[in-house]
Structure 1
Amino acid sequence: MSSRDLRIGEHLERPADVIVSEIVDHGLLAEGVPPTRRDAVARLLRPGGTVIPAAGSVMVALGFDHSLDRRRMATHGGFDLSRFDALAAPSYSVEVGREDLHLVSDGAALFRFAFSQPDQWPQPDARSCWG
């Protein structure tokens, strides 16, 4: 049962003292986390209640991918295909800890979210990846 289906007085006797969830992934805010947390905290948690996990940060760092050349087109069968590089996705996922990926800056928190305070989160809009 989804937390969105829970009702005080029907499924819960009273608002919860603690909300514990494991709905975050490596991107922190995928899997519907913002709207689900916003709803659960507003409807199901008593004022001053505890949310676990309490907070999260989206971290970023500048890096250099030594394998980038393998992602580029070259000459194949006598045809220069390098102009197709312009059609390649401007970004791609990399796994943390890869030996051919080298960070060239310290990590920094791009966003920090207190999960018990969803009213302070940026609101999603048409440019958002929150869906």
Structure 2
Amino acid sequence: MRTDVFLKRVQERGQYPTTQEADRAARVVLGLLGAHVVGEERAELAACVPETYALILLNPLRAAEPLDAERFVRATAAWIEGATEQTARWDVGAVLSVVADEAGPDLLRRLLLQLPPGYDLLFGRLEPV
């Protein structure tokens, strides 16, 4: 997927006024996600996003422990200047729902098996995958 297409989709989902805001959300969310998924699934996910974001997924800071969905949202808020938990939840949903669409149901299911319960909602899935 081309970077401009990816950012436009995140911008639309997040209702951001600029692609710069969509980019900021994507960098933070994918950086945090990359610290929580490993192996073949992380590599496959990286292949679904533009190279800039793939590098962020593949070279994250290491997480000391897995974050449950709520703590993931709080961590996102901590990394985005001026964000609240509510706005961070919006950012996470905008980015991860686009990522879920690109990943497809099989890869998404395998990713969710690596993550604590509750991430299905962050990926915009109302029912477990």
User: TM-score with structure 1 length normalisation?
Assistant: 0.27
The structure richer in strand per residue is 1
Return the index of the structure with the highest Cα Rg.
Answer: 1
Q: Relative to total residues, which structure has the larger helix share, 1 or 2?
A: 2
